[in-house]
């Protein structure tokens, strides 16, 4: 099926009707900071609706790849498409269909949780009459009812992470990018976050990063292993009975 054969009003609507086109596609994507090659010729396709995990040690290029997808960075070379849209040329359109949670889960400290979510909803272009409902939806979905009236600076790490995830979901994006979503959480919060991410699969394509093998193993449908800015391999979890051995053999 080709795009031109689909009767739709926008390329994004057209893409939504087919699963042939990957949600994310990178071809030879590189990112260089001066003399440092943070990402070196990465090529990958991420399928619609799957939970894809990027596994690798710190500095392996996971965050750089996610920042490229989210539009925070621009690639030095290669082609990156999100929902069939060029991440550089159609950057604004790409950013509309992505929800992104950076590793540190940044929030505006002077705002209340509800204010912050409403601000992010407006920033992401939701019509004014839909903002309240969107905030209510994510507050229920992420169980933030107890803290919605609290300042974000008073939140525990777990609620902070949930609030950050809520802002990423506020515009109901097709793609969620979660950089180390379980970082700093206690065991109970890790389990809750894992269940939350699993519940998002299908409705959203989820790309998450982690340097913890067990997290990726339990959360993701497919996993890619990165080291020194290179993608060393990609496998489905079903084909990877022993992730640890595979990881060690590659790295």
The binding site for other proteins (CB under 8 A) comprises 67, 70-74, 92-93, 95-96, 98, 100, 102, 104, 106-111, 119-120, 122-125, 167
**What is the 3-state composition of the chain as percent helix, strand, coil, each rounded to the nearest 5?**
40, 25, 35
Smallest gap from Cβ 171 to other proteins, in A, equals: 9
Nearer to other proteins, 106 or 202 (CB): 106
Beta strands in 56-109 (DSSP E): 77-82, 85-86, 98-101
Which residue, 76 or 251, is less far from other proteins as judged by CB?
A: 76
CB of 235 to other proteins, least distance (A): 29
Query: How far apart are alpha carbons 31 and 36 in whole angstroms?
Result: 9
CB nearer to other proteins: pick between 170 and 225: 170
DSSP annotation string for 107-150: --TTSBHHHHHHHHHHHTT--HHHHHHHHHHHHHHTT-TTTTTS
Q: How far is the CB of 248 from other proteins (least distance, A)?
A: 33
Closest CB to other proteins among residues 116, 247: 116
Six-digit token string for 196 = 């939350």
Q: CB of 250: closest distance to other proteins in angstroms?
A: 30
- The terminus-to-terminus CA distance of the chain in angstroms comes to 39
């Amino acid at each position: 099926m080709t795009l031109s054969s689909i009767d739709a009003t926008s390329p994004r609507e057209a893409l939504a009707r087919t699963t042939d086109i990957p949600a994310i596609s990178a071809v030879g994507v590189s990112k260089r900071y001066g003399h440092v090659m943070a990402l070196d010729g990465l090529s990958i396709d991420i399928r619609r609706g799957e939970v894809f995990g990027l596994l690798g040690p710190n500095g392996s290029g996971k965050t750089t790849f996610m920042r490229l997808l989210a539009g925070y960075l621009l690639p030095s070379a290669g082609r990156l498409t999100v929902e069939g849209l060029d991440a550089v040329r159609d950057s604004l359109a790409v950013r509309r269909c992505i929800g992104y949670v950076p590793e540190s889960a940044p929030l505006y400290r002077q705002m209340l949780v509800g204010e912050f979510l409403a601000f992010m909803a407006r920033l992401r272009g939701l019509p004014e009459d839909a903002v309240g409902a969107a905030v209510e939806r994510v507050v229920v979905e992420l169980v933030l009812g107890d803290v919605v009236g609290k300042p974000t600076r008073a939140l525990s790490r777990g609620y902070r992470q949930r609030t950050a995830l809520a802002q990423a979901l506020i515009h109901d994006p097709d793609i969620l990018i979660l950089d180390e979503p379980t970082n700093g959480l206690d065991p109970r919060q890790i389990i809750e976050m894992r269940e939350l991410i699993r519940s998002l699969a299908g409705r959203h394509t989820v790309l998450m990063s982690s340097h913890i093998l067990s997290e990726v193993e339990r959360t993701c449908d497919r996993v890619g292993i990165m080291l020194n800015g290179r993608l060393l391999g990609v496998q489905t979890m079903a084909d990877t009975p022993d992730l640890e051995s595979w990881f060690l053999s590659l790295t």
